[in-house]
Copies of this chain bind each other. A is one copy, B any other.
Amino acid sequence: MKIMQVEKTLVSTNRIADLGHRPLLVVREKAGGARQVAVDAIGCIPGDWVICVGSSAAREAAGSKEYPSDLTIVGIIDHWAGD
């Protein structure tokens, strides 16, 4: 799993129905790193350092085997100082 920091919510009005209403968050591995989009299965706020699971495990972690996610936040790290 990757250690990433939540930056903000991503707004995507026009999206496939399978994504439902789960929040999509912009995350990044480190300051200056490429931004990615993760499905929030926890309830995070900007600034949180989180554990993101990828690969096929991201689907079930997002709620069901059919959920179209390849990056899902599965935990908030209690203390993290960045890299």
Contacts and interface: CB of A to CB of B under 8 A. Distances in A.
Interface string A44-56: 0000000101111
Contacts of A21: none
A75 B34 CA distance: 19
Given A11-B78, A51-B10, A58 B70 contact: yes
B70 A1 contact: yes
Chain A contact-residue range equals 35 or more
17 contacts: A1-B36, A3-B36, A10-B51, A11-B78, A12-B77, A12-B78, A15-B42, A15-B51, A19-B75, A35-B83, A37-B51, A53-B68, A53-B70, A55-B70, A57-B67, A57-B68, A58-B68
Given A15-B74, A16-B74, A60-B68, 6 more contacts: A1-B69, A1-B70, A2-B36, A12-B77, A12-B78, A15-B75
